[in-house]
Amino acid sequence: MGRTIGIDLGTTNSCIAFSDGGHPTVIQSKSGSRVMPSVVAFSAKGERLVGLVARRQAITNPKNTVGSIKRLMGRRYSEIADHINDVSYEIVENTNGDAAVKILDKIYTPPEISAIILQQLKATAEEFLGEEVTDAVITVPAYFNEIQRQATKAAGKIAGFNVRRVLNEPTAAALAFLDPKERKRLVVYDFGGGTFDVSILQVIDGVFEVKATLGDTSLGGDDLDTLLVHWIMSEFKSETGIDLSKDNIAPQRVREAAERAKCELSMTQETDINLPFIATGESGPVHLEITVTRKLFEELSADLIKKTIPLCSKAVEDAELTIDQIDHVVLVGGSTRIPMVQKLVEEFFGRKPAQSVNPDEVVALGAAIESSVLTGQRKDLVLIDVTPLTLGVETLGGIMAPIIQRNSPVPTRNSRIFTTASDNQSVVGVHVAQGEREIIDGNRSLGTFELRGIGSAKRGDPRIEVVFEIDANGILSVSARDTTTGQEQSIEVNPSGGLSGADIERLRREASTNADADRIKLKLVTLRNEADEVIYEASKVIAVASEELDKESWVELETELKKLKTLRDTDDTLALAREISDVHQLISSVSKLIEVFESDDDDPAAEFMDSFAKMEDGDKLPK
């Protein structure tokens, strides 16, 4: 077994950490980044780009760039219909009714896209640690249901990880924030790009216990961006009469600018949005120039942000606590940087949120701590998590019969006895669902199975025991047994984003084959970027040299530059790398010559020698 890492697989950004002797450290990429954008893009040539490179090209390639995939994980197409217009890529309904993504005529399930992000994180970790990484603890919003957890686990498997634990994000944050030796109660208010949740935890003698958790998986910073985008577009329309929403590229540009403006407004009172050539009007190109104030942003977003407060209140009530019994409030997720969010949280809890945590890193750090517990490096803490939503089965008339109540500590097991609805009924259907509604249709269906071979009996006589069991990862198994005949049937609720076990295995193999190809492609993209910089640098140097030096001192640079320009568009990474290095060396030697030449110009000693020489010719001495 190789290393285990902790992964915060975020809606907008992802962060990874490892634990050394039980102490967590964030893993940086080669370029020094501590977080990676959770963005995947496909170029027209079929190249896969991940992270910053993918985000950078989003404006020019919006249809083939996938961001915020976490919002689609384990979701039915019907559940996300409202958000379909908020993204620039195409969301489609998979054959099983789940949401999927269609890129360049190929359909990808959300776990497949997430797996591409995870694969990149794995490669970054392996590069940083210099050893193989095989295992991972991956975090999910506390309020993710079974299907969303399973989809995340499937993504991890496809990326080649042995997923040791699917850990709730607030629990991870608490692990990183609290000292196991303390006796404290903590609120984790987690407002990210796509989800909101709030959890109440306590630590007593090294036992971390989640007391309650609540949330909304469709409420996040992306929704605030959408509000701002709609406002900008409607202002633009009333000023120019042009509807930007119909354009191919403009909506993505506006969304990027809106998100940037939103983040700036966390620091300043107003900011300008400038998008030149956003549209073409009757008299030529039209530019978008607009000022957004913090006051306006707060007016637009107040209702949405305020939706989080009743959830906080309910979570405290569920934990059977009062607000004054809370010792700390920890903010997690990028959207908690919004001053209005901080103000509302402070007002509600009557205390300032802890300032010592970095909301972008604390979850990954906690996941790394959990990995050190699982690998036996740390023995000073124990985790008791809860299941966020009630689990039950459908009974006659479409009514949900709860078997495990929400906020039950996991792992857990519970059973209930059911019976038949008609005489001599030999088969019963067991329909498993999750949610808080009493009507089954209002809850999320997790799966169905049939128990056959029930002994012949009058209705109401057979005793059918249905057992629900949740393991430490929150993964549910359900079994049904006729207590008279002993007939039994069971399922592990395994709706991995519409993927069967065989699908996951196939995708894992494909991903691992793709990983090599991807690494080569990534290398090529990196080299091409490097080549562009070197080409730019060389052209600048040649321009100066052609004015100041003899051609023979820079002609070689010019020849090699031409070669580099040709190689830049080939796939020959080896030759390209060599050429970049050659041109680099030539730039440096020509630059040195220019420096010498220029320093000759203003070297005081040289000036003196010049004037001395001239003096011999009878000129006057300088004063």
Active-site residue, from 112, 169, 197, 385: 169
SS3 471: coil
E strands in 294-423 = 328-332, 382-386, 391-395, 399-404, 409-410, 412-418
| Nearest-angstrom CA–CA distance, 243 and 149 | 39
Number of H helices, E strands in the chain: 14, 28
- Asked if 353 is part of the footprint of ligand AMP (rule: CB under 6 A), the reply reads no
Write down the least CB distance from residue 335 to ligand AMP, Å: 4
- Interacting residues with ligand AMP between 266 and 295 (CB under 6 A): 266
Active site residue 205: no
- Give the residue among 571, 567, 545, 548 at the shortest CA–CA distance from 558: 545
- Asked if 560 is part of the footprint of ligand AMP (rule: CB under 6 A), the reply reads no
Options 250-258, 262-270, 344-352, 539-547: segment touching ligand AMP (CB under 6 A): 262-270
Answer yes or no: are the C-beta atoms of 491 and 445 closer than 8 Å.
no
One of 107, 227, 263, 524 touching ligand AMP (CB under 6 A): 263
Write down the least CB distance from residue 402 to ligand AMP, Å: 31
- Asked if 259 is part of the footprint of ligand AMP (rule: CB under 6 A), the reply reads yes
Q: How far is CA 325 from CA 317, 384, 459, in A?
A: 12, 20, 51
Answer yes or no: are the C-beta atoms of 277 and 250 closer than 8 Å.
no
Write down the least CB distance from residue 492 to ligand AMP, Å: 30
| Nearest-angstrom CA–CA distance, 187 and 212 | 10
One of 13, 19, 94, 199 touching ligand AMP (CB under 6 A): 13
Q: How many residues does the chain have?
A: 623
- Asked if 114 is part of the footprint of ligand AMP (rule: CB under 6 A), the reply reads no
Answer yes or no: are the C-beta atoms of 24 and 368 closer than 8 Å.
yes
Write down the least CB distance from residue 83 to ligand AMP, Å: 14
Please give the size of the binding site for ligand AMP, defined by CB under 6 A. Answer: 17
Options 11-19, 178-186, 389-397, 581-589: segment touching ligand AMP (CB under 6 A): 11-19
Q: Which is nearer to ligand AMP, 56 or 463 (CB)?
A: 56
- Asked if 110 is part of the footprint of ligand AMP (rule: CB under 6 A), the reply reads no
Answer yes or no: are the C-beta atoms of 57 and 42 closer than 8 Å.
no
| Nearest-angstrom CA–CA distance, 392 and 467 | 10
One of 4, 12, 407, 479 touching ligand AMP (CB under 6 A): 12
Q: Which is nearer to ligand AMP, 196 or 418 (CB)?
A: 196
Answer yes or no: are the C-beta atoms of 16 and 8 closer than 8 Å.
yes
Q: Which is nearer to ligand AMP, 111 or 333 (CB)?
A: 333
- Give the residue among 73, 326, 303 at the shortest CA–CA distance from 189: 326
Write down the least CB distance from residue 262 to ligand AMP, Å: 5
Active site residue 190: yes
Active-site residue, from 112, 190, 482, 518: 190
- Asked if 184 is part of the footprint of ligand AMP (rule: CB under 6 A), the reply reads no
| Nearest-angstrom CA–CA distance, 361 and 332 | 9
End-to-end Cα distance, the chain? 81
Active site residue 370: no
SS3 content of the chain, % helix, strand, coil (to 5): 45, 30, 30
| Nearest-angstrom CA–CA distance, 272 and 261 | 7
One of 193, 366, 497, 498 touching ligand AMP (CB under 6 A): 193
Pairing state between β 207-216 and 196-204: antiparallel
- Asked if 51 is part of the footprint of ligand AMP (rule: CB under 6 A), the reply reads no
- Asked if 385 is part of the footprint of ligand AMP (rule: CB under 6 A), the reply reads no
| Nearest-angstrom CA–CA distance, 58 and 49 | 11
Asked if the bond preceding 141 is cis, omega within 30° of 0, the reply is no
State the amino acid at position 459 in one-letter form: R
Write down the least CB distance from residue 432 to ligand AMP, Å: 30
Handedness of CA 555, 559, 565, 571 (dihedral sign): negative
Q: What is the 3-state secondary structure (H, E, C) of 134-169?
A: EEEEEEECCCCCHHHHHHHHHHHHHCCCEEEEEEEH
Q: Which is nearer to ligand AMP, 332 or 542 (CB)?
A: 332
- Interacting residues with ligand AMP between 330 and 349 (CB under 6 A): 333-335, 337-338
- Asked if 67 is part of the footprint of ligand AMP (rule: CB under 6 A), the reply reads no
Active-site residue, from 8, 360, 469, 518: 8
Active site residue 70: yes
Write down the least CB distance from residue 40 to ligand AMP, Å: 16
- Interacting residues with ligand AMP between 213 and 232 (CB under 6 A): 221-222
- Asked if 11 is part of the footprint of ligand AMP (rule: CB under 6 A), the reply reads yes
Write down the least CB distance from residue 71 to ligand AMP, Å: 10
Site residues, ligand AMP (CB under 6 A): 10-13, 192-193, 221-222, 259, 262-263, 266, 333-335, 337-338
Q: Catalytic positions, please?
A: 8, 70, 169, 190
